[in-house]
Structures are given as C-alpha cells and as structure tokens.
C-alpha cells in the first residue's frame, strides 16, 4: 500500500528529506549542509551539482532510515529556497553557472535603472513585488548577459531557466519535465499574479526569451515521476511550493487573517488575505499563498534577509560560540543595562525598508560590551524586524489581526529566550508547533493532497498541534521604548533617506 509521503526541502544552508506517514507524522529524516560561495561583496552563489547530489542523497537516506521502499511512497513534495536562479543546458542538464542565490545583490544597479526609468510601478502592479535584486528576473538577465553564448542559446531554445524546484524536477524526472508551481513563479518578477501566467511585457522589459521558462502548475499536481534508477522505483512527484508558501500550509494558516513567521537564514512572515490580492501601502509584497484546483489564495509577505544568518556570523565569523544553540544561553547572561543594537543588514534591508545598499552595524557599544551583549542584540534584531513586518501588515489590512497570534517555525524558534522576547516585543502570543519542520510538512501535505490521502485546506486538516505558547510579560512602555531605539538604529544605516521617506 502506498501510504508514505516524502518531502524534499532544499534550503539556503542545507537540504533535508523527511519521510512522513499518511497522517503527516515524521518517520525519518536526513540532512546535508550546503556550502555558501561569496565571489564578490554582496554576491552569494551555490554549486548546482552540490544541490542535486545532496537532494538525491538525503532522499535515499530518509527512505533507508524509515525502512521504506520507494514503491511505498504515494508522492514526493518539493519545497525550495525561492528566487534563487539556475540556467542549464537542456541536452546535458548541466548548469551554465553557479546558482545565484536570493540574497545576492549584484543586480542592484539594474534595479535602480529600472526605477529611474519609471518601470517600478508596472512591475509592482503586475507582480505584487517591488523592483529589487532579491527577485529572480534581474538575476536571470545577468546570466544571459554575462555567460558567454547564453543569450543566443536561450533564444534558440537550448537552455532552461528555473528556480531550484524546477532544476530538481528536471533532474529527478531525467530531463522529461520542465515545470514549476505558481508560488515559485510568482517570485520571479515575471509573473502576473492576477492572470496567473508569465507576463509578456515584463519578459520584454527584462529581455527574457519565453523559450527558457517552465510550465506553471498548481501546488498540488502531477509533476511527473522520478527516474526508477534514482530511488529504486518510479515515484510520482505530486507537490511543489516555495519554502514560505509550504510553511504557511504546514502551519495550517488556512483562514484569512492567520499569519506565520519562519526563522531560518532569513525571516519571512506571511499573512493569508484570502481570494483577493491586497495592495500594500507599506512596502510589503502582494503574493500568492498557494494555488490549488486552479484557484489562487493570496497573501501579504514581509521578508527579512538576515535572521539566523546573523547567529551564524557570530559563530563562524566572530567565533563567539561553537554552536548556534549557545546564543540564547549567552544572551541570558547579558547586562540588562547595556543598550546594544545590532542591525544585520549584511545584504541590505528587506521589508519594509527595501534598501539594497544598506549595510550592517552594531550600535551602542561601550567598554562593558562583550560577547553576551552582542549575542543578545543579534537575537533581539529578529524580534525587532518581525515587529516591523507585523505593524506594516496591520496597517495594510486592518482585518488581519496579524498581531493577535503569531505561529512560528524554523531553526531559531527552538530558543525559548528568543521566542519570549518576540512575544514581549509584539505584545501578542507566539505559538510554537509540535512539528517545527513545517516547510517540509507543507510539501508532504501537498503530495498527500494530490495523492488523495489528505483533505483540502480547512478545519478537517489536523496536522498542526501546539507545543508551547509564549505570552507577553514585558510592560508595553518598555517594549515600545526598546523598539524606538531599534528604529533609530535602522535610520542610521539607511542609504536612501529617512525612514519616513521610505514608507508611503
């Protein structure tokens, strides 16, 4: 009986495969780290072959650990780091260049030119996105313009473009399927979120040949089957969604007004707004939550580029501790009289500031500042940035109730200290689920939905369970005072004028 579900979660710093049963309970998991490459300041790249080999190895290991044959798997769900760009040869399947990662800022000047030329309004109106190097279009344009022979090969249909999901699907199916899902498509800056298709005017604007683009499917669909030799049998691939969309499904944020925030390398808060797109007045993104049965559910999203990456920098760059888990312990020992603020703008600032040229700073240093105070400031920066997003969401959509309860997931939520400070700063409960790998959970759910093992989104889907609720304990005046210090610190690193000028 085919009653197992396999999720492949290809993230920014690691690749995971998690085997679930038909009730979405995790059975086995495998994980492999992913090397980061920084060829120039602000540039971030991944090796495509490392992504592929790690994906295949973790899928095999998860099956082996779970004692499950590939023939018992009802479906694979793929979820992935979004906006990261690959361009590969259709004949050989080999990438022409390293993957350009979502954090990469090499196309900031291109985006600035588009804004100066007045194209930003069209981009936002069609895509719901802001004209920023974060998204895929300018990255793909860079590859076409800077890899020898790429543009000519693309125009004659010899190349394929994709985000990581498309690349993995191509490899898993032996080059038979070039497709993506609507959530990944909507992050490229080439997709019309209302029509649900690639936009011809934007393709001309970015000089992207339509021949390189993948076909767009629902998040739960028949994406093809794996080459039998890869896993031991042909396994259907039945789910696909970008990581934050998969996490929204994994957190069961099925009703309009529900919001989740994922804390990984970056932080991404997603608010379900229902059947109609909400236009942001506060520099959030209007995006898809998911697409099922041809029907689109929309969301508002705020993106923080650096969350867990700040802790990684303290560990690997400054060597303040050996294990990221030690950051919370260290933060608890910090001198409460020290007002150190860490603005982790290593690759610019995301929502609601969108300043690609801003760079990081640690402010308020004194002779009494030590590793504990810097660790605390790094963890606090995640909460401060989350409040930025939640306040923008509530201003954009008053019916949201975004500040009432926040569902959280990702590696950083294991820190009780960090989650308590988050609840204190927001003045709202923070709910941590039993299963914290909600991105993989969402991917498995999509595969199970398409396989007929699980019901559509709604009250009958019972895979979400509360592990712990963190409730506010800090007095509101103190929380507001600390947030004001943060806002002042951010104003000192912005490069495009004051914060008031940046917020419509």
The tens digit of pLDDT for each residue in 457-501 reads 887 677 888 899 999 999 999 999 999 999 999 999 998 653 443
Question: How far apart (Å, rounded) are the C-alpha atoms in residues 265 and 103?
Answer: 10
Q: How far apart are CA 503 and CA 368, in angstroms?
A: 36
Q: How far apart are CA 490 and CA 504, in angstroms?
A: 17
pLDDT of residue 414: 87
Range list for CATH 3.30.420.40 in the chain = 4-243, 307-386+403-436+448-499
Residue 414 falls in which region: left (phi positive, over 0), alpha (psi -120 to 50) or beta: alpha
Say whether pLDDT at 122 is over 90.
yes
**115, HSE (Cβ side, Cα atoms, 13 Å):** 14
Percent of the chain scoring above 90 in pLDDT: 73
Beta pairing, strands 86-89 & 159-162: antiparallel
Instruction: Enumerate residues 6+ apart whose C-beta is below 8 A from 437.
Output: 9, 16, 18, 26, 29, 250, 409
For 250, phi and psi rounded to 5 degrees?
Answer: -65, -30
Classify domain 4-243 at the CATH class level.
Answer: alpha beta
**Reported CATH class of domain 307-386+403-436+448-499:** alpha beta
Position 499 scores a pLDDT of: 42
What is the reported pTM? 0.87
Q: What DSSP string describes 287-348? A: EEEEEETTEEEEEEEEEES-SHHHHHHHHHTS-S-SSTTHHHHHHHTS-TT---EEE--BTB
In angstroms, the Cα distances linking 2 to 5, 22, 64, 247, 453 are: 9, 9, 16, 24, 10
Please check the confidence at residue 326 and state whether its pLDDT lies above 90: no
Mean confidence (pLDDT) of the chain:
91
Check pLDDT > 50 for residue 14: yes
Helix or strand (DSSP H, E) at 389: helix 371-396
The predicted structure's pLDDT at residue 400: 53
Count of helix runs (H) and strand runs (E) in the chain: 17, 22
Say if residues 340 and 376 touch (Cβ distance below 8 Å).
yes
Q: What pLDDT digit, counting tens, does each position of 138-150 carry?
A: 999 999 999 999 9
Determine if residue 189 is left, alpha or beta; phi over 0 gives left, psi from -120 to 50 gives alpha, anything else beta: left
């Amino acid at each position: 009986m085919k009653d197992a579900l396999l999720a492949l979660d290809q993230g920014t710093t690691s690749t995971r495969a998690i085997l679930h049963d038909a009730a979405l309970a995790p059975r086995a998991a495998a994980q492999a780290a992913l090397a980061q490459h920084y060829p120039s300041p602000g540039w971030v790249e991944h090796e495509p072959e490392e992504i592929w080999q790690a994906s295949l190895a973790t899928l095999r290991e998860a099956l082996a650990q779970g004692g499950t044959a590939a023939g018992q798997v009802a479906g694979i769900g793929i979820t992935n780091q979004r906006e990261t760009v690959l361009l590969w040869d259709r004949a050989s399947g080999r990438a022409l260049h390293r993957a350009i990662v979502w954090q990469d800022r090499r196309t900031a000047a291109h985006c600035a030119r588009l804004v100066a030329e007045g194209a930003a309004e069209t981009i936002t109106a069609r895509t719901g996105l802001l004209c920023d190097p974060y998204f895929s279009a300018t990255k793909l344009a860079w590859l076409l313009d800077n890899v020898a022979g790429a543009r000519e090969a693309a125009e004659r249909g010899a190349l394929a473009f994709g985000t990581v999901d498309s690349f993995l699907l191509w490899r898993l199916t032996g080059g038979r399927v070039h497709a993506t899902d609507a959530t990944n498509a909507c992050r490229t800056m080439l997709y019309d979120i209302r029509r649900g298709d690639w936009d011809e005017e934007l393709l001309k604007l970015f000089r992207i040949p339509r021949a390189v683009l993948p076909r767009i499917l629902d998040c739960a669909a028949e994406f093809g089957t794996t080459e039998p030799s890869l896993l031991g049998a042909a396994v259907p691939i039945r789910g696909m969604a970008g990581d934050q969309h998969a996490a929204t499904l994994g957190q069961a944020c099925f009703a309009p007004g529900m919001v989740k925030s994922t804390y990984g390398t970056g932080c991404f808060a997603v608010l379900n707004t229902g059947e109609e797109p909400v236009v942001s007045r506060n520099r959030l993104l209007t995006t898809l939550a998911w697409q099922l049965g041809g029907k689109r559910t929309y969301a508002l999203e705020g993106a923080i580029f650096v969350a867990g990456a700040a802790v990684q920098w303290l560990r690997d760059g400054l060597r303040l501790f050996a294990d990221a888990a030690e950051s919370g312990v260290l933060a608890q020992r910090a001198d409460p009289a020290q007002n150190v603020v860490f603005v982790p703008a290593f690759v610019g600032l995301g929502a609601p500031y969108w300043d690609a040229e801003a760079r990081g700073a640690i402010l308020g240093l004194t002779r009494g500042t030590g590793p504990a105070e810097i660790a605390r400031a790094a963890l606090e920066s995640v909460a401060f940035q989350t409040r930025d997003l939640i306040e923008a969401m509530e201003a954009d959509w008053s019916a949201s109730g975004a500040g009432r309860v926040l569902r959280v997931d990702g590696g950083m939520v294991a820190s009780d200290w960090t989650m308590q400070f988050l609840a204190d700063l927001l003045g709202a409960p923070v709910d941590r689920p039993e299963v914290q790998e909600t991105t993989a959970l969402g991917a498995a759910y999509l595969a199970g939905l398409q396989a007929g093992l699980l019901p559509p989104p709604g009250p009958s889907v019972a895979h979400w369970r509360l592990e712990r609720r963190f409730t506010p304990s800090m007095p509101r005046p103190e929380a507001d005072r600390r947030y004001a210090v943060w806002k002042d610190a951010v104003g000192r690193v912005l490069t495009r004028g004051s914060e008031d000028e940046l917020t419509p």
